A and B are shown apart, each in its own frame.
Chain A
Amino acid sequence: MHLRTPESSVAYEKPSSLPWKRGLPVVSVLVPIFKEKGESILTTAKCLSAQTWWRLEVLFIIEPEETDLLLETRRRVEEAIMLLRSKAIGAKVIVTDGKLKLKPHALNCGLKEAKGEIVCVYDADDSFPEKQVEDAVSLMLEKGYDVVQPKVFRSSKTLVGRYMSLDTFVWQRKFLSAARAWAEIFPLSGEGLYIRRKALEEVGGFPEVLTEDAYLSILLAEKRKKFGLLDSEVYELAPRNWRSHFRQRVRWFRGYLTCLGRTLKAKIPLRMKLILSIPFLAPITCSFALVTWTFFATYWFTWAFVPLIRFMAPWMLHWLYTNAIFYWSAFLAYIGNPIVVFSLMHSIAGTRMERNAPLALTIPIYWIFVGAAAIASFFRSTKFWGKTER
């Protein structure tokens, strides 16, 4: 069978197998832990312990309320540390100051203790191949990248997991590679993120906002840092249920709104601004799409099937609606939805994801859910992490 894999995308790179002559840098792996399941911590620890890169230190960063050794999370962290030490990998626990319950705050606490020239971030529950650290470091040294990102896939066997899997697949395959090829930057993900410590310190550490990863890309772009895409994968468990996924989406969208404001102010080339604005505009486009399309669909259904009832809100006579919103809604309905479905099916065609093709047909329904999360994001606080349950 003819198979296309995400690896075929030209924007993703693998380092050459040539040995380099410089000194080997130490890599500090930061693993923030907050309300994690025991097995999730061990999953990440096992992948780290299997790495071929031996100049590694792993820092598990926990919140003050999870320091009690009787707690399951803490016990599992200790177990993970034992496992890593048994493979001659330095590992320790860092406790945050508890001032702010945000992932980037925890990461900054870990960064203070980290010794590596390259810092990388993984979440509990991430699994990745044993050569990932080596490949990432090699690529950074070989091509002079300041930040490198492997492909991140979120999936599980549940329906929400399968939708997320499709979503992340297209994100990685289409958007990130196109963004990297066109603007030489892309919005970063918090999982499997590799960054030079020096570059991170130049931008003042991890920005303490909801989507610190995406925000970090703006700051790094301003400093003209080099972005690279690593041809390797990180698998993360998708949210446990729809509720959990909704909270995750709301958090992302709220974070994106912050990022959007920062992008508009950023002193970066227009091309970079445009490419970063596309995802950061998502909360506005998705919520706007859902609202206008709902009214449009109601209007159209009553027109087509119930000629006696004329659904017409007074504001629908406003020139803004008749000249702009109506056409925007019609475009979304007649052109936007088919393009999304066609593009999705095209992305997965001939790949291992092709089995999800029947689900891809229903993606507009999933986007209604995403639109609802986008609306909710306007009312969310920016001060609380909102941990995703997996």
Chain B
Amino acid sequence: MKNATRRITTPLMNITRFLFKDKTELLIFFTAFLVEMTFGFYLLYKWGHTFVCGDAVSHLYIPRTLFDNQPYNTFANLGTVWLPMFHLLVVPLVSIDPLCTTGFAGTIINSFMTGGICVVLYRLIGEKKLGILASALFMCNAFTLTYGATPMMEQTAIFFTVLATYYFKRYWEKDDTVEFMKCSLALIFGTLTRYEAWAVAFLVIFFFTLRELKNGQSYRVAYAHLPLWGIFAWVFWNLAIFRDPLMFIRQPGSVTFRNVSLWLVTNYVFQGVFAISGALGLLAILSIALLYKKSSQLAPTILLISPIILHWSLMRSWSWIRLFYMGLPGLIALPLLLANNFKKPLKVITITVVFIAYSTIYPFQMSVVATGSTSGVLSDIGFSDVSTWKGEVMAIKEVTGNQLTLLTAHFRALSPFFSVLTNTSPSRIFDEYDYPFYLEVMEKPWKHCTFVVIEKTSPDDPELKSINDYYEEKYFVYRYYNDSEWGSTFLQHYELILETKHCLLFRLMERLPRTQMDRLHRF
């Protein structure tokens, strides 16, 4: 018995020793992890799920289609718009139904990530008390709690970015390429998680190349491309699967860049930064100015706030708060690193100022925790919206049962909602994840499925048109509204059986052809 226990505990101890340098790190990790898990349970209690928005539901649906979407459970389902790392990390957990339908699979992954971020922030600051303070400030944030307890990709991306920054700082201090390689490895994972990390990768390369050339070690520039490997892999994936290396930009649903006035974007940025960190943004700017000559501290922290700079420079028409949230570790680290350079009286004053600046946001953030929504700033936080959708798809599910149903994943992510929230296997759904068979099903749904769900929308919706163009003008939602010939044929086969707030549910009036039934059974 003793031997068996030792056999289990020894590897665990070894892993713990490998991951954590001291007991403080271990304590920080488990505190952060448990806080996030507790918050996840709170969300579960309050909303019945931990999905912050529709995207969160899709982030659990995609990994499920990799193994539970017969016969189309292929890696190609990882898709092209969203980067794949979070989906790959969550794969083992989404196979457990309760974890998938409640969103808790994502909560577990992101709780680990939050723990990791806090530990790395602690290390990054380089001074015990200030490090603990940095971790505590990061944890005492409504958005940390929210995004750390929901299946979104931000927390995972922040972890890899902070880890890369930590190793980059070590490289800068020790002039050691091994540390740079560790930084690159973290960035490879980071750039495969969120596009914001791409900016960090390019900045790392810029700083590294500049430094090595300045030091006369030009041969080391051969290492500079390593942080780009994740990006190369993604471009290559797009080429290999979709014959277009830039498919992630061109596919419907990807980011669109529009010309918006600089002042409007600046307004969004200030709103966003204030909403996540209070007046820490101003302190961060001041810290950059004062740390000007301390390149070993400034260069890494610039990496951490680069997501904010990126969104500012791209001038997008929408600026959700979670995009700026990715810069939170940098906004916290900058003034604390500055404080680390001061002697006691000035250090205490700086820390006090950090506290005051940070606490200005609490009245706003408390309401985020309490209501699960934001007011006054652009945000896609909407636990109640997901709950509303849940009620709607549950009503549809009551009618469809386990029959084959045609839905769409593109337009308002209906098929993820339906599959994840009603615990329906993706193999009982026809949607974009069954490509290319999906084209055939959309063309003549009456030959393949008993139910069809069509969303209520305006026929002139430009997104509808772009999706229709992408799917070779066979997109059934578009055709229902805009192709009268197809629409009337469709209505000869299907009858409207249920109308909800957002959807119309149609049922096949005749039985499915026997051959099709047999084929579908084999699925």
Contact = CB atoms under 8 A, between A and B. Distances in A.
A233 interface: no
B181 A346 contact: yes
Count chain A CB atoms within 10 A of each CB in B175, B176, B177, B220 and give the residue with the most.
Answer: B177
Given A304-B240, A342-B181, A345-B181, A361 B233 contact: no
Interface in B138-169: none
B226 A342 contact: yes
B47 interface: no
Interface in A294-320: 300, 303-304, 307
A87 interface: no
Interface in A356-384: 357-358, 360-361
B226 A2 contact: no
A349 B240 contact: no
Interface in B176-194: 176-178, 180-181, 185
Count chain B CB atoms within 10 A of each CB in A300, A349, A354, A358 and give the residue with the most.
Answer: A349
B219 A300 contact: no
A4 B225 CA distance: 22
A350 B219 contact: no
B219 A346 contact: no
B181 A358 contact: no
Contacts of B220: 354, 357
A303 B222 contact: no
A375 B329 CA distance: 53
B265 to A, nearest CB: 37
A28 B178 CA distance: 42
A349 B178 CA distance: 6
A354 to B, nearest CB: 7
A350 to B, nearest CB: 5
Contacts of A358: 219, 222
Given A334-B233, A345-B226, A357-B220, A350 B243 contact: no
B176 A350 contact: yes
A71 interface: no
A2 B181 CA distance: 14
Contacts of B229: 338, 342
B243 A4 contact: no
B181 A361 contact: no
A334 B230 CA distance: 11
A355 interface: yes
Contacts of A357: 219-220, 222-223
Given A334-B233, A358-B222, A2 B176 contact: yes
Contacts of B219: 354-355, 357-358
A1 interface: yes
A166 to B, nearest CB: 12
Nearest to B173: A2
A361 B176 CA distance: 19
B223 A350 contact: no
B239 interface: yes
A1 B211 CA distance: 14
Contacts of A361: 222, 225
B201 to A, nearest CB: 15
7 contacts: A2-B174, A4-B178, A303-B243, A307-B243, A354-B219, A355-B219, A357-B223
Given A349-B181, A358-B219, 4 more contacts: A345-B222, A349-B176, A349-B178, A357-B220
Interface of B: 174-178, 180-181, 185, 219-220, 222-223, 225-226, 229, 233, 236, 239-240, 243
Interface of A: 1-2, 4, 300, 303-304, 307, 334, 338, 342, 345-346, 349-350, 354-355, 357-358, 360-361
List 4 tightest A-B contacts by C-beta distance, closest first: A357-B222, A349-B177, A358-B222, A2-B176
